[in-house]
Structure 1
Amino acid sequence: MEKKSNILLFVADQMRSDSLGHLGNPASVTPNLDMLTREGVSFRNAYCQNPVCVPSRCSFLTGLYPHTTGHRTMHFLQNPDEPNILKVMKQAGYEVIWVGRNDVIPGNRTKEEYCSEYYNGVVMEDTKGESNNVFGFKKKGKTPAVKPEEDDNYYSFYTGKLDKKEAQESFDWNCVKSALDYLERRSKEADSPPFFLYVTLTFPHPPYGCEDPWYSGIDRKKLPPRRPCVNSLKDKPSMLYGINSRQNLNGWSEERFDELRATYLAMVSRFDYQYGLISDKLKETGVYDDTNIIVFSDHGDYTGDYTITEKVQNCFDNPISNVPLLIKPSRDHECSPRISEALAELVDIPETVADMAGIRLPYKQFGKSLLAAVSGIEFHKDAVFCEGGRLHGEEHCMEKGHGPLSPYWPRLDTQCSEGAEHTKAVMIRMGNLKYVRRLYETDELYDLEKDPMELNNVINNWAYKEEILKLKERMLTFFLETGDYVPARKDIR
């Protein structure tokens, strides 16, 4: 029987697509991921299915859209009977090694059915059999010297240069060490099963801080233009106006924003370096050519665009919805290395993994394997989607409990409004048109060819009337196809 190829998923947290050098950022220093395009494919137009962690991860590990199973908040994680590609790969005979972030399995459940070993980035040993609530990183609280509303840096998430020694003992470095140790240990074992290595780090998730040499390695003079303040724009989502009014960043100079943005790119550069360490270990242990590699992020980050930092749950501007997605297949799969313009989604990852492994997913899902696109076909999907928000009255979706001392207060306080701010919306992109249907406020339409920064909402421009009808019709079909899924079981009646 032919041995199956290995699979590595190397996942960033909150990395926007345009933070990579090969995707056009002149200030980025990402040599390892840029080089990956010589052996694989980088999808310029890849989108997450929800712009915050938990719903996105529940989607890209199942192949189901967030609305299909009700994953619309940070507090509702997977039910025990929900499908998961980690489970599937373990059942298919893979040695599943889970390293890093969780945000998928509740803390009162163990991970034994999902993986062979689990390394949580805090302790350096396998903890798969332990129930825990480690989501993957520790949020450091602030003790303000002044009131937060009087400190125009308090809600920015900006930290700056980190102590190198302290940073080297942090979560992400522990995760990389665990992954490297596993690969080294495995190389010394005879007849090892194929591995499915799921490494999910925290960078470049805020707070925006990084150690040298990466902190000093970004040329601030090369930064691309920042999107202007949302207050200068018309018909943007009320969520953005609400956060902007609370984050207290409108008095910042461009030099301060440049420093924040450069620090974010330094975090991306460190992620790139850490990927390079894993890649080098695969080569050193002789398994690189037999390993399928998928590098991506769960969602993006505003990073000062529209004079907002971090992310939101129900907005879909490219900085937070358009994510990196790079695939280098093993030697037994055809590949046409390039930067692809094809539309792609993170929901496609489970079906792609199954295709790489030569197995069938044992449940109905809505992703499509990307291997045909990797082989050279420059079309994958006619439309991609991202969604989020809640109905009026869904208080359990507000994520209450964060007061003004929390750096997340500007977003979370806005989420508690019963206006239109935090309410349901869904995005569809077809070609260069991006349409957002909003339940309680003005819809959005952007022509990304003419308006790549999404500054001009043309929803009321009659020149786009026919295109809007096509987008709405396609969205209706999307919801009809993906509204639910029936578990593959027969219950006793």
Structure 2
Amino acid sequence: MVKKPNILWFVADQMRWDSMAHAGNPAASTPNLDALAQEGVSFDNAYCQNPVCVPSRCSFLTGLYPHTTGHRTMHYLMRRDEPNLLKTMKQNGYEVVWIGRNDVIPSSWAKTDYCDKFFDGSDLVEKSAVEGGKVHFGAGMESARPECVPVMQGVDNRYSFYLGRFPEHSLDESFDWNCVNAALAYLEERSRQPDAKPFFLYCTLSFPHPPYGCEEPWYSLIDRDKLPPRRPDVETLEGKAEILRDIRAKQDLQNWEEKQYNEVRAVYLGMVARFDHQLGLVREKLKETGVYDDTSIFVFSDHGDLTGDYGIEEKCQNSFEDPLTNVPLVVKPAAGTPVCRGRNPALVQLLDLPATVYEMAGVTPDYIQFGQSLCQTIATGGAHRDAVFCEGGRIKGETQAMEPLHGPESPYWPRISTQHESDAAHTKGCMIRMGQLKYILRLYEADQLYDLEKDPMELHNCIDDPAYAQPLAEMKNRMLRFYMETGDFVPSQMDKR
């Protein structure tokens, strides 16, 4: 019988692809991600299927698109009878250990159908049978007293999500450190069990999700002078989405100088560096316990972050620029798995991850899903998909697709108030990328087309340029076929008539 590999998913929240050193960012510090990319594969063109947390996570845990089952909002989570990767791996002989963020099933549910062990990050107590819980992000920051560094003194940053440098505090008190410590403790405990089942360890952290803040040494690790150029402010550009313009106006950062944006961007990269350090701790524990070679490691993020690009901080739910949609995906397969090492330019989706795990584990899922296993492109370095997709937004009157309205005291007010005020701003939209072209269909406002080879910052909307008429028509036809193929999902279980 072939030995099944262990699987580790080490997941960031809101981490953009270009925040890694091996992706070309001269200011980034990601030695562990860079090392994994040399041992395995780092995908340059991995895309999430929705640019906010819940829809993206429901998608990459099922292999289904957000529109397929309606999981395209922050408050419609999985139903009890819906299949997903965690359930399937548990049913097929894996010990499933879920650590950290939820964002996929109602918090009031016990997790016993989905995993053997669950740690919510608030402490080191196993809680798979516990009903109830809360969302944790920015955990450990609430009690911190960040230092106001000189560059941020005297500027209005209430909607910037900036906190800055934290003083020294107990690392055990914060969410991500609890998650990592739970993972390390699990691996140590398992090493003393000679007949242990293969594991699926789903460790999902909160960094670098805003607010933007971190402690030393990561705060000072980033050289502000090495930051790459920021994308220009949205009001200087033609053809950008209304949601971006409205958020920009309400965040009120127009008086910021480049040094303020650079401070936020550097702190964000410091958060990424801390995430990378924590990845390194888990890598070392895998080696120490003798299971590193037997473990396939996947490191990725649910979606990206604007981090000052276009003059906007944080994210939005229906705009599809690469800082929001192009995410890290680094895969180090278990020993004996064919791998073409290094960076891979293939177009891939997070939705492809369940199919990849199923193939590696020799598992046949009992439901239809739309992911395509990455094992072939991991082995050969060749092409994978002809097109990738991302979607978001809502139709008119779809109030249940909006997040609850926040007041002006909340840093989320600029984005969420705009979603409530304007159907056009919060329009349903869908992105398709084929080759170097990206087309965005927007239901209630003008469409967009970007040539990423000529315009990697997505500054010039080419939707009306006749030179692109033929490829645009092909992309529209491909999007139509996409919706025909994935428009619904028929469960495997048949009811008696």
Can you give the 5+ residue segments of structure 2 that lack an aligned partner in the other structure?
A: 146-153
Please give the alpha-carbon distance, in whole angstroms, between the structure 1 residues aligned to 2:355 and 2:370: 9
Please give the alpha-carbon distance, in whole angstroms, between the structure 2 residues aligned to 1:197 and 1:350: 14
| 2:358 partner letter | A
| 2:192 partner letter | K
Q: Answer with 390-399 or 243-252: which moved more.
A: 390-399
**What is the aligned counterpart of 1:409 among 392, 410, 413?**
413
Q: Answer with 395-404 or 45-54: which moved more.
A: 395-404
SS of the aligned residue for 2:173 comes to: coil
Please give the alpha-carbon distance, in whole angstroms, between the structure 2 residues aligned to 1:131 and 1:168: 24
Counterpart position of 1:169: 173
| 1:92 partner letter | N
Counterpart position of 1:80: 80
| 1:113 partner letter | D
Please give the alpha-carbon distance, in whole angstroms, between the structure 2 residues aligned to 1:307 and 1:133: 35
The alpha-carbon deviation at position 395 of structure 1 amounts to 1.4
| 1:45 partner letter | N
Counterpart position of 1:251: 255
Please give the alpha-carbon distance, in whole angstroms, between the structure 1 residues aligned to 2:120 and 2:403: 25
Please give the alpha-carbon distance, in whole angstroms, between the structure 2 residues aligned to 1:399 and 1:135: 15
* % identical aligned pairs: 59
| 1:368 partner letter | Q
SS of the aligned residue for 2:348 comes to: strand
Q: In the TM superposition, what whole-angstrom CA distance separates every residue of 1:440-485 from its partner, at most 9, and x where no partner exists?
A: 1000000000000000001010100001000000000100000011
Counterpart position of 1:12: 12
**What is the aligned counterpart of 1:303 among 307, 310, 324?**
307
Contact residue 437 and residue 452 of structure 2 kept, 8 A: yes
| 1:46 partner letter | A
Please give the alpha-carbon distance, in whole angstroms, between the structure 2 residues aligned to 1:127 and 1:138: 21
Contact residue 138 and residue 207 of structure 2 kept, 8 A: no
Matches for 1:141-290 after TM superposition, within 5 Å: 152-290=156-294
The alpha-carbon deviation at position 71 of structure 1 amounts to 1.1
Q: In the TM superposition, what whole-angstrom CA distance separates every residue of 1:137-170 from its partner, at most 9, and x where no partner exists?
A: 3577799xxxxxx972000000000122145520
Please give the alpha-carbon distance, in whole angstroms, between the structure 2 residues aligned to 1:180 and 1:52: 28
- Residues 173 and 337 from structure 1, CA distance in 2 versus in 1: closer, same or farther, beyond 3 angstroms? same
Contact residue 137 and residue 209 of structure 2 kept, 8 A: no
| 1:287 partner letter | V
CA RMSD of superposed structures (Å): 1.4
Counterpart position of 2:100: 100
Contact residue 121 and residue 171 of structure 1 kept, 8 A: yes
| 2:78 partner letter | Q
Counterpart position of 1:90: 90
Whether 1:433 aligns to 2:424 is: no
| 2:73 partner letter | T
The alpha-carbon deviation at position 125 of structure 1 amounts to 1.2
SS of the aligned residue for 2:163 comes to: strand
Please give the alpha-carbon distance, in whole angstroms, between the structure 2 residues aligned to 1:407 and 1:324: 26
Matches for 1:30-45 after TM superposition, within 5 Å: 30-45=30-45
Please give the alpha-carbon distance, in whole angstroms, between the structure 2 residues aligned to 1:260 and 1:372: 39
Counterpart position of 1:354: 358
Whether 1:421 aligns to 2:425 is: yes
Matches for 1:318-467 after TM superposition, within 5 Å: 318-467=322-471
Contact residue 385 and residue 429 of structure 1 kept, 8 A: yes
Q: In the TM superposition, what whole-angstrom CA distance separates every residue of 1:304-334 from its partner, at most 9, and x where no partner exists?
A: 0000011111000000000000111001311
Please give the alpha-carbon distance, in whole angstroms, between the structure 2 residues aligned to 1:38 and 1:232: 39
| 1:119 partner letter | F
Contact residue 29 and residue 218 of structure 1 kept, 8 A: yes
Please give the alpha-carbon distance, in whole angstroms, between the structure 2 residues aligned to 1:167 and 1:179: 15
The alpha-carbon deviation at position 293 of structure 1 amounts to 0.5
Can you give the 5+ residue segments of structure 1 that lack an aligned partner in the other structure?
A: 144-149
Q: In the TM superposition, what whole-angstrom CA distance separates every residue of 1:395-442 from its partner, at most 9, and x where no partner exists?
A: 122223311111100000000023400010000000000000010100
| 1:185 partner letter | E
SS of the aligned residue for 1:463 comes to: helix
SS of the aligned residue for 1:199 comes to: strand
Please give the alpha-carbon distance, in whole angstroms, between the structure 2 residues aligned to 1:50 and 1:176: 26
The alpha-carbon deviation at position 136 of structure 1 amounts to 2.9
Contact residue 392 and residue 418 of structure 1 kept, 8 A: no
TM-score for the superposition, normalised by structure 1: 0.97
| 1:283 partner letter | K
Contact residue 167 and residue 211 of structure 1 kept, 8 A: no
Please give the alpha-carbon distance, in whole angstroms, between the structure 1 residues aligned to 2:212 and 2:390: 25
| 2:242 partner letter | S
Q: In the TM superposition, what whole-angstrom CA distance separates every residue of 1:82-141 from its partner, at most 9, and x where no partner exists?
A: 111000000001000000000001012110010000000002111010112322335777
Q: Answer with 6-15 or 164-173: which moved more.
A: 164-173
SS of the aligned residue for 1:261 comes to: helix
Please give the alpha-carbon distance, in whole angstroms, between the structure 2 residues aligned to 1:151 and 1:391: 37
The alpha-carbon deviation at position 338 of structure 1 amounts to 1.1
Contact residue 141 and residue 406 of structure 1 kept, 8 A: no
Q: Answer with 370-379 or 262-271: which moved more.
A: 370-379
| 1:469 partner letter | A
Runs of 4+ off more than 6 Å: 139-143
Please give the alpha-carbon distance, in whole angstroms, between the structure 1 residues aligned to 2:14 and 2:2: 38
The alpha-carbon deviation at position 359 of structure 1 amounts to 1.1
